[in-house]
Structure 1
Amino acid sequence: MTRSAIPKMTLGDLAERLGARLVGDAGRQVGGLATLGEAGPDQVAFLANRAYLKDLPGTRAAAVLLHPQHADSCPVDRLELDNPYLGYAAASRLFDSLAGHDPAGIHPSAVVDPTATLGERIEVGANAVIEAGATLGDDVVIGPGSVVGADTTIGDGSRLHANVTVYHGVMIGRRVILHSGSVVGGDGFGFAHDGSRWHKIAQLGGVVLGDDVEVGSCSSIDRGALGDTLIGNDVKIDSQVQIAHNVQIGEHSALAGCVGIAGSTKVGRHCMLGGGVGLAGHLTLCDGVQVTGMSLVTNSIHEPGVYSSGTGAMANAQWRKNAVRFKQLDDMAKRLTRLERARGA
């Protein structure tokens, strides 16, 4: 892949592309983004969290993306937006050196089956493999060492970074990003026990990823046992996440690192699962559910809102006392019920 130089643009151009109000020199050139404390005179900084307001007066940035309410504290040119964090997200894509690079074509060491169908402006990196019957849309990038299995379809503008494995019969939408080490379409954890040993259940389904999905490094999305595992449009999956067979995740949901979802669980639209959350199998989470980090969900959730489980960290001595009392809760509840009945009598 030919990596482009970081693009430069004027503050006027940047303001126009972000829909921001510029207060300052429209002709000043900038060539990147940095934090308030680290930005130099040719970079743009941003203020999206009040915790960093203390760094604003001393910034050396060419300009700062910020909310109008902080304009008076800004010592340099500014780009005013009602949602500066969303503006930062848009600006980050404008300054991404990977964006708009010239496709390098198919590397001589890549193996592309003659029955594969390739679109326009394709890039296939060194030692990558495209198996029989695979279909790549236009502007697809397959990183070095990645494998696209037989009869898999990858939509326009999608990118597999280095060493991604996509098994056979997977359908990937448009503008999908799969980071290094991720595996899509591996076998689900399906076995039958006869009393003495395990017998493998063939996983006959596939995986469908919608448009604009992003999957972090070393995450796994298993294929379905019969039907498909379904990941909706605009779902964002962090690194080291495990999604088991036949899971369904609704559009615009986000899963933080180390989330684990057991088989056949359905997660609704606009849900957010914090780091380390575990969902037991065959559950349903309705739309708009947020589960805080390290929580374990063992029952379906039918009302939107924020849910938590577990206990926060505390001194070990205190935790040991509480753990003993936790084991006594059932007995204490029964004793309390008897006392209330006695008082009522």
Structure 2
Amino acid sequence: MISKQYRLDELAKQVQGEPVGQSDLKLKRLASLENASSDDIAFVNADKFLDLARSSKAGALIVTEQLRAQLQDVHQNFIVVANPYLAFAILTHTFERKHEQRGIESSAYIHPSAMISDSAYIGHFVCIGENCVVGDDTVILSHTKVDDGVEIGKQCFIDSHVTLTGECTLADRVRIHANTVIGGEGFGFAPYQGKWNRIAQLGSVRIGNDVRIGSNCSVDRGALDDTVIEDGVIIDNLVQIAHNVKVGANTAMAAKCGVAGSTVIGKNCVFAGAVGVVGHINIADNVTVTGMSMVTKSISEAGSYSSGTPMLETAQWKRAAIRFKQLADVPLTQFAKKLDHIQAQIESLESTFKLRK
């Protein structure tokens, strides 16, 4: 495949930057500082990368004005911006290999009642059920199942082996990666006389604009009300979102997070890897939860929260674990009594010293 080339000034315009040096320099790739060649452009995001940038063979660098001043003795071609990392993120879309096919593959099954945009692409062995809608420029790759009543917006990307069911709705520019299930049955059962009685899940899933969901995730449909993923949410691989959960706009979840049913998560939250959240709680906006933490109660104020124990050398961790267990075995009232006794002793000593003065 022949790589498309871009002029330095063209790339600068895309990121609202200033081209410095050879404006008509043609560049083929976006590359790391270590592996860049004279046909590539790389970015420098901080002073700690200056030595790497000086030795880089990149044809051009994306930098701040301050960084350019420190590199101009070695490099001649730059795009000067306020935020090099943001500029890099924007340019990844320019150099990304895009899916340009349109139309419906002959092996796909489309129900006659489904409405498929002429500019969409439907891949091999895709199955689309009754009364479905697929919007303009949406791409659905092979072996994906779009169940009855599902609506997909414009410019979405649905990877292979995805299942969309439960009459879920996807807004525009949603990306869902391989083997993920949206709208599957929620884990709802009523216990009675030693048996679990299945609760039919009658709700759906609503996904907002610009949502990204990774591979092997599950977003369950609601029991009565819908499960809701608001605009701009980004979800990593292997994440479970249970029924009736609401995730606020621009929240991020790293891999292996699990959120139990009917929890409401605010906007602009960050959940690091393997965070667990119990059901039926509320989490405020702008909350960060560090890796492998267990959220067992509502969080009403913004901030960073942690649980669990940090990594220690194994022998040290075993000693700490024994002490922690011993601490749990002692009633809190005994600690309170000891503290009261120590405080009384301190006050007695203070009184004695005052009398001697």
When normalised by structure 2's length, the TM-score is: 0.92
Q: Distance in 2 between matches of 1:62 and 1:300?
A: 52
Residue 31 of structure 2 corresponds to which residue in structure 1?
34
Q: Distance in 1 between matches of 2:326 and 2:102?
A: 66
Superposed displacement of residue 11, structure 1: 0.2
Q: Distance in 2 between matches of 1:36 and 1:340?
A: 58
Superposed displacement of residue 162, structure 1: 1.2
Q: Distance in 2 between matches of 1:228 and 1:58?
A: 54
Secondary structure class of the residue paired with 1:56: helix
- The answer to whether the aligner puts 1:248 opposite 2:246 as a matched pair is yes
Indicate if the aligned counterparts of 1:148 and 1:168 stay in contact, CA closer than 8 A.
no
1:15-54 to 2 correspondences below 5 Å: 15-54=12-51
Task: Map Cα deviations across residues 150-197 of structure 1 (whole Å, 9 max, x no partner).
Answer: 101000111101111111300000010011111100111111222332
Indicate if the aligned counterparts of 1:6 and 1:95 stay in contact, CA closer than 8 A.
no
Secondary structure class of the residue paired with 1:319: helix
- The answer to whether the aligner puts 1:67 opposite 2:64 as a matched pair is yes
Q: Distance in 2 between matches of 1:205 and 1:22?
A: 53
Q: Distance in 2 between matches of 1:57 and 1:340?
A: 60
Give the letter aligned to residue 6 of structure 2.
Answer: M
Question: Which has a greater percent of helix?
Answer: 2
Secondary structure class of the residue paired with 2:24: coil
Q: Distance in 2 between matches of 1:17 and 1:337?
A: 64
Question: What is the CA RMSD across the aligned residues, in angstroms?
Answer: 1.6
Task: Map Cα deviations across residues 216-244 of structure 1 (whole Å, 9 max, x no partner).
Answer: 01111110011100000010011111100
Residue 308 of structure 1 corresponds to which residue in structure 2?
306
Residue 338 of structure 1 corresponds to which residue in structure 2?
337
1:64-143 to 2 correspondences below 5 Å: 64-74=61-71, 75-76=74-75, 77-98=77-98, 101-143=99-141
Q: Distance in 1 between matches of 2:51 and 2:297?
A: 44
- The answer to whether the aligner puts 1:153 opposite 2:148 as a matched pair is no
Structure 1 residues 63 and 172, CA gap change in structure 2 (3 angstroms): same
Secondary structure class of the residue paired with 1:335: helix
Structure 2: unaligned runs, 5 residues or longer: 346-357
Indicate if the aligned counterparts of 2:166 and 2:221 stay in contact, CA closer than 8 A.
no
Superposed displacement of residue 51, structure 1: 4.3
Secondary structure class of the residue paired with 1:218: coil
Residue 169 of structure 1 corresponds to which residue in structure 2?
167
Q: Distance in 1 between matches of 2:111 and 2:185?
A: 23
When normalised by structure 1's length, the TM-score is: 0.95
Indicate if the aligned counterparts of 2:166 and 2:205 stay in contact, CA closer than 8 A.
no
Structure 1 residues 310 and 187, CA gap change in structure 2 (3 angstroms): same
Larger-Rg structure: 2
Q: Distance in 1 between matches of 2:323 and 2:100?
A: 64
Indicate if the aligned counterparts of 2:47 and 2:67 stay in contact, CA closer than 8 A.
no
Q: Distance in 1 between matches of 2:39 and 2:277?
A: 46
Superposed displacement of residue 47, structure 1: 1.6
**Equivalences, count:** 340
Secondary structure class of the residue paired with 1:318: helix
Give the letter aligned to residue 124 of structure 1.
Answer: I
Give the letter aligned to residue 65 of structure 1.
Answer: I
Residue 55 of structure 1 corresponds to which residue in structure 2?
52
Residue 274 of structure 1 corresponds to which residue in structure 2?
272
Tell which deviates more after alignment, 73-82 or 237-246.
73-82
Indicate if the aligned counterparts of 1:152 and 1:169 stay in contact, CA closer than 8 A.
yes
Secondary structure class of the residue paired with 1:309: coil
Structure 1 residues 51 and 197, CA gap change in structure 2 (3 angstroms): farther
Q: Distance in 1 between matches of 2:285 and 2:198?
A: 34
Residue 237 of structure 2 corresponds to which residue in structure 1?
239
